[in-house]
Amino acid sequence: MNLPKLKQAEADFLQRYPGGFADPGLETVRKKHNIDKLTEFARENLGKAAFGRPEKVCSDVLTITSRSSMVSRFEKPRFRDFIHGLNSHEKQDFSDAVYQRIHGRKQLGFEIMLGMLKQHKLAKWSVISVVPFYYAPKREVFVKPTTAKGILAYLEIEDFRYHPTPSWAFYKAYQKLVKDVRDEVVPTLSHNNAAITGFLMSSM
């Protein structure tokens, strides 16, 4: 990682917005993305006890994805059709995958979700990463293709490369990169992992 470049980006951002993401100048951005509200919804509806009702879990996953400002308006209706098209057994399988992804064996959950989404040509980074991010926004990362590619180029990362097909290997490497950036910047830029990637994207 090009640390001097990161520190310069941090200084430039704080010069424009001294309060970081709490700065009044970013109020419109905060309202647009509304991450805290969706995190609250995710935590209220996708806790461990919720997974005895797979139909509701699938409905709540759809709600989160539909309300997210970070998921493309082209992908939202396709994901809605995917959820509505699942039969009861498939809803159980998808619910089990979401449970593992959030609460259990995270890679297993990722791979099962990916397999189901691939069957419907919906294996997109935004779709597979959005719900885990809202559930744990300081641990999980939302992968937006243009942002991820831009960050890797900007910070001159050569250890791994972006690929449009989601993979656990890339996710873990990108997650670690975001954590490394978090460790280097002031807390006002790292309220959650989307803030970190947003700060980097605005610096390019």
Domain match, 162 and 184 both: yes
Could you tell me the residue range of the domain that residue 119 belongs to?
Answer: 37-127
Percent of the chain at pLDDT > 90 equals: 75
- Stretch 23-28: mean pLDDT: 77
Radius of gyration of the chain from Cα atoms? 17
135 within domain boundaries: no
User: How does the average pLDDT of the chain come out, rounded?
Assistant: 92
- Stretch 24-33: mean pLDDT: 74
End residue of a domain, out of 95, 127, 159: 127
**Total tally of structural domains belonging to the chain:** 2
82-94 confidence digits (pLDDT tens): 999 999 999 999 9
- Stretch 93-100: mean pLDDT: 97
199 within domain boundaries: yes
End residue of a domain, out of 99, 127, 155: 127
10 within domain boundaries: yes
Give CA angle at 40 (10, 150), nearest 5°.
30
104 pLDDT band, cuts 50/70/90, is very high
Domain match, 18 and 44 both: no
Q: Does 59 have pLDDT greater than 90?
A: yes
136 within domain boundaries: no
Give CA angle at 110 (202, 84), nearest 5°.
95
Domain match, 193 and 160 both: yes
C-beta of residue 125 within 8 angstroms of C-beta of residue 72? no
Domain match, 121 and 195 both: no
Domain match, 56 and 86 both: yes
- Stretch 12-31: mean pLDDT: 80
Q: What is the identity of the amino acid at 165?
A: T
- Stretch 35-52: mean pLDDT: 94
